[in-house]
Structure 1
Amino acid sequence: MKVAVIGGTGPQGLGIAKRFAIEGVEVIVGSRKEEKALTIVEETIEELKDYDLNIVGMANEDAAKEGDILILTVPLAAQKPTLEGIKEFCTDKIVLDATVPLETAIGGKPFRFIDLMEGSAAERTAKILDGTGAKVICAFCNISNSHLSNIPNEIDCDCLIAGDDKEAKEIATELINKLPGVKAIDTGILEKSRIIEKITPLLIGLNIKYRSHYGGLRITGIPQFED
């Protein structure tokens, strides 16, 4: 199974790509420009030379074409054009969307949320990809870039997911649980992404207030989510 991280040269996307590659997952790092993806991958292989990585760089369109599971990690402003550019390659694929509608998209503060007409960024993705059969899942919204880049330490954070396709969520859960310290928590239908995405600016605000980079979320007291 190939995982393609679309917009994977930014801090979040690259952190996700590195973590999965370390766990033995075949990873494609996508970028708007192929040259940038190739350069970032070359640097990543050198940085993580103690690990046997199966990771390559491609343009976003090629990454989407080759990937079995796609992970969208772009800012809100780039969400629509990026999805329109890869839409033809999303047919019947699982698409994990990490987009969060933060006010930074319009020059505002990172701890403020933008209400979207579609309800959430993940629902916006589902609308853009409507007709392709893509199974859209909200995921990775609440895990900080600092956690992802803090290799080889475990990620002390659960990953809340939401989506309408049960089988797709089971596959996504199995993939996400490969990350050390992370547990995927299925919160329900895709509409729940409206809540998941709003947690992110809260965590950002807490990190700013308490001068941290590792604020995260753990779900407790629910037996099926406990070890």
Structure 2
Amino acid sequence: MKISIIGGTGSQGLNLGKRFAIAGEDVIIGSRKEEKALTKVEECLDLLKDYDNIKMEGMSNEDAAKAGDLLILTVPLSAQKPTLQSIKDFVGDKIVLDATVPLETAIGGSPARFIDLMEGSAAERTAKILKKTDAKVIAAFNNISNSLLENIPEPIDCDCLIAGNDNEAKKIAIELIEKIPGVECIDCGKLEKARMIEKITPLLIGLNIKYKSHYGGLRITGISRE
């Protein structure tokens, strides 16, 4: 399965790309400008030169959306709508994992504060933009910090909360996400649950700032997924 990371040249997208490439996945890094994607992929390949069989290539977002079997959206809120508009003709019925969080940084505010969207959540906003496609949108990766992702090869002591309306798509997403060492997925239910999942992110950011850490995460205890 080819994993296309749309808007993947930022730290979150690249670190997810590295993690999945190390796990043996075929990764495509997408960018608004293909040249930037190619440059970032070269840098990643150099960093991962001690690993065998790394598969990573760079493309424009549009070409990445066409080529990927599963898409991961890793852009700031301000870039969410234009990025989705640019790829929506190529999404089809693919699974789209949306890592967007509506933080106040989008309007020059604090990263520890949340912006309320009229759609309810960033993931629901993605679903609305892609409503004329058969895309299966899932909120994911909202609560895993870039520092944890970047701390390769250390396992990540954090759960990944997901939400989406298609149960089969969520099973595929969970299988993929749990290829990252240490991560366990928690299915929180329908896509509307993204409204709560996304609001945890500014709380975690605030806690990391307060306690001078970069690695604060979330574990859900006392439940069985069997």
Match in the other structure for 1:135: 136
Give, in whole Å, the separation in 2 of the partners of 1:83 and 1:37: 17
Match in the other structure for 1:13: 13
Secondary structure of 2:24's counterpart equals coil
Unmatched runs of 5 consecutive residues or more in structure 1 = none
Q: What displacement does 1:74 show?
A: 0.1
Q: What displacement does 1:46 show?
A: 0.7
Match in the other structure for 2:41: 41
Secondary structure of 2:50's counterpart equals coil
Give, in whole Å, the separation in 1 of the partners of 2:110 and 2:132: 35
Q: Which residues of 2 match residues 31-180 of structure 1 at below 5 A?
A: 31-52=31-52, 53-180=54-181
Amino acid of the residue matched to residue 71 of structure 1?
I
Match in the other structure for 2:29: 29
- Of stretches 202-211 and 50-59 in structure 1, the one that deviates more from structure 2 is 50-59
Give, in whole Å, the separation in 1 of the partners of 2:80 and 2:225: 34
- TM-score scaled to structure 2, two decimals? 0.99
Q: What displacement does 1:55 show?
A: 0.5
Structure 1 runs of 4+ with >4 Å offset: none
Secondary structure of 1:205's counterpart equals helix
Amino acid of the residue matched to residue 206 of structure 2?
G
Q: What displacement does 1:78 show?
A: 0.1
Q: What displacement does 1:76 show?
A: 0.1
Render the CA deviation track for 1:11-54: whole Å, top value 9, x for unaligned.
10111000000000000000111001001101111111011210
- TM-score scaled to structure 1, two decimals? 0.98
Give, in whole Å, the separation in 1 of the partners of 2:186 and 2:89: 30
- Of stretches 216-225 and 25-34 in structure 1, the one that deviates more from structure 2 is 216-225
Render the CA deviation track for 1:47-76: whole Å, top value 9, x for unaligned.
110112100000110001000000000000
Secondary structure of 2:169's counterpart equals helix
Secondary structure of 1:162's counterpart equals strand
Render the CA deviation track for 1:179-205: whole Å, top value 9, x for unaligned.
000011100000000000000000000
Give, in whole Å, the separation in 1 of the partners of 2:149 and 2:198: 18
Secondary structure of 2:113's counterpart equals coil
Unmatched runs of 5 consecutive residues or more in structure 2 = none
Q: What displacement does 1:131 show?
A: 1.5
Secondary structure of 2:179's counterpart equals coil
Q: Which residues of 2 match residues 180-195 of structure 1 at below 5 A?
A: 180-195=181-196
Q: What displacement does 1:224 show?
A: 1.9
Give, in whole Å, the separation in 2 of the partners of 1:51 and 1:143: 23
